[in-house]
Structure 1
Amino acid sequence: MNILEKRILEEGRVLPGNVLKVDSFVNHKIDPAFFMKIAEEFKSRFSDLKIDKILTVEVSGIAIAFAVGLLMDKEIIFAKKSVSKTLGDDVYKSSVYSYTKGVTYDIMVSKNYLKKGDKVLVIDDFLANGKALEGIYDILEQAGAQVEATGILIEKGFQNGGNRLREKGYKIESLATIKSLENGKVEFENSLDF
């Protein structure tokens, strides 16, 4: 069992609808020392790749992407979910369906921050049905940038988004893959120590 899986078992809660609540250490409250350990694991998995930038989606992906960017000495870009006066209209945009929130929203990245030929590491907190990643990959394709790899904190393996995207050729590494959340119990696939 790795440190992330241990933390999920200790603090995570399974909610109705196969929702895993980990807000006490991932997406509401953050333990910086723990995130730095997670970032070290991502750095070790992706250190052989040539990476120009790291891309994530606001809000929950930002903290882990920041930690990885700090260790890898790479700038971080995050796709925004809301339009602002400062963002402008010169953006790459893709529509994404959120399983957890039950809504479709646009994610956007300014064309000033992604360039043709950029080699990008994608980092995000969750992978379930793969819709957020599809949106990110679409934005990278629009920019002419290249997805080098994707690092995911927690993957819901039983929702098959990861498998479907891997079959399309994307390199995806998940630190904790959940096999089942049945009866309120978290069961992991292929646990790796770190």
Structure 2
Amino acid sequence: MEALHKKIREEGVVLSDQVLKVDAFLNHQIDPALMKLIGDEFAALFKDSGITKIVTIEASGIAPAIMTGLNLGVPVIFARKQQSLTLTENLLSATVYSFTKKVESTVAISPRHLTSSDRVLIIDDFLANGKASQALISIIKQAGATVAGLGIVIEKSFQGGRAELDAQGYRVESLARVKSLSGGVVTFIE
């Protein structure tokens, strides 16, 4: 997706050979026009997959997930990282380790929002080691729902997350596949 590649080149900041900062347009300040294009692209890729729900993790996956949900005409559910007074039932939950924040979090979804008849599209901002994706897959399986695929905005292909998901048979569609961040330069798999 050329618009996303351009935005990463122009506004992304390489902090190390492992970390790409995209807070200017994706996960702090959000570029709504870019999110619309991302939602359009994911909707086109998954339009024939029978998607009934979209699942993401708060907070960075919410914007692309909402735009995709708008395009597909399906609800968006985000797994919450913080326990809330309103989330009191037996939650569907999993733990996930954040590489960039260096913390483990429990993420949860109310079982009222996912059923065994749902075909779920996972949308997330990054795919690196795959821990967030695996946590969401676990939650979806706990509900008895089906994972129809994963839509990733930016994939760090030099890390093992995609290989693990591919080996498990999941469909993964990434809009920007980063091959390397070496020398402070973003190189894409074209």
After TM superposition, list the pairs within 5 Å mapping 1:175-190 onto structure 2. Answer: 175-190=175-190
- Following superposition, which runs of at least 4 residues in structure 1 exceed 6 angstroms of deviation? none
Letter in 1 for 2:171: K
Instruction: Measure how far apart 1:89 and its partner are.
Output: 3.7
Letter in 1 for 2:105: Y
Deviations 1:20-63 (A, max 9, x none): 00000000111111111111111111111101101000000001
Please name the residue that 1:72 is paired with. Answer: 72
Tell me, in whole angstroms, the C-alpha distance in 2 between the residues paired with 1:36 and 1:18.
27
Using structure 2 for the length normalisation, give the TM-score: 0.97
Instruction: Measure how far apart 1:177 and its partner are.
Output: 0.5
Please name the residue that 2:33 is paired with. Answer: 33
After TM superposition, list the pairs within 5 Å mapping 1:1-194 onto structure 2. Answer: 2-16=2-16, 18-190=18-190
SS of structure 1 residue aligned to 2:112: coil
Q: Is contact 2:56-2:77 (8 Å) kept?
A: yes
SS of structure 1 residue aligned to 2:26: helix
Deviations 1:82-114 (A, max 9, x none): 101111142001010101111111000001111
CA RMSD of aligned residues (A): 1.0
Using structure 1 for the length normalisation, give the TM-score: 0.95
Tell me, in whole angstroms, the C-alpha distance in 1 between the residues paired with 2:105 and 2:99.
11
Percent of aligned pairs sharing the same letter: 49
Instruction: Measure how far apart 1:164 and its partner are.
Output: 1.3
Bigger shift: 82-91 or 118-127? 82-91
Tell me, in whole angstroms, the C-alpha distance in 1 between the residues paired with 2:63 and 2:141.
24
Deviations 1:138-190 (A, max 9, x none): 00111100000110000000002111111110100000000000111100012
Letter in 1 for 2:76: I
SS of structure 2 residue aligned to 1:60: coil
Could you tell me which runs of 5 or more consecutive residues in structure 2 were left unpaired when the two chains were aligned.
Answer: none
